[in-house]
Amino acid sequence: MRILGIDPGYATTGFGLLQTEPAGVRLLRYGVVTTPKELPFPKRLEILYDDLMRLVEVTSPDAAAVEELFWGHNITTGIGVSHGRGVILLALTKAGVPVFEYTPMQVKQAVVGYGKAEKRQVMDMTRRLLHMDRVARPDDAADAIAIALCHARSQTSLLARVQAEQKE
């Protein structure tokens, strides 16, 4: 299964593509989608949508894992990111990609084993689990890889398999 992890934003949106296999999980590619800050906000959202649609076309994911928003101190930035996240969800849905959403705490729990882990711990464990030479950069891409890894680990857990068998 190909999993596209997305760390939402409107200025910078991280992505990471993983391939799950019987032998484990493999990192296929990662990066960021950016929008020029000098453009009007609606134009930036349009660019985000178009670029994400192209990314889905090129990567052909079987599922997408998107981080749910954590509202920090800057509400103004949070609102902009919320708009970007909406565009991302729209693009994935229009492309027919099943979307799964995870909180930051769920990502930390799945990757590190501790829901209150620090960002650097998540990044280092992601690097180790995927046998990467170094932590992915920028941080948005590293976060997206961790989100995809969270989905990969969630979907291959014993509980997920039992639930799938019960649906059949």
**Rounded-to-5 percentages of helix, strand, coil across the chain:** 50, 20, 25
| Domain assignment of residue 133, given as a range | 2-167
Query: 100-147, pLDDT tens digit by residue?
Result: 999 999 999 999 998 889 989 999 999 999 999 999 999 999 999 999
Phi, psi of 41 (to 5 degrees): -55, -45
Query: 86-99, pLDDT tens digit by residue?
Result: 999 999 999 999 99
Q: 115, 109 in Cβ contact below 8 A?
A: yes
Q: Is 31 left (phi over 0), alpha (psi -120 to 50) or beta?
A: left
Q: 130, 17 in Cβ contact below 8 A?
A: no
Q: 28, 19 in Cβ contact below 8 A?
A: yes
Question: What's the CATH number where 144 sits?
Answer: 3.30.420.10
Provide the number of structural domains found in the chain: 1
Entry pTM: 0.89
Residues belonging to the active site: 7, 67, 140
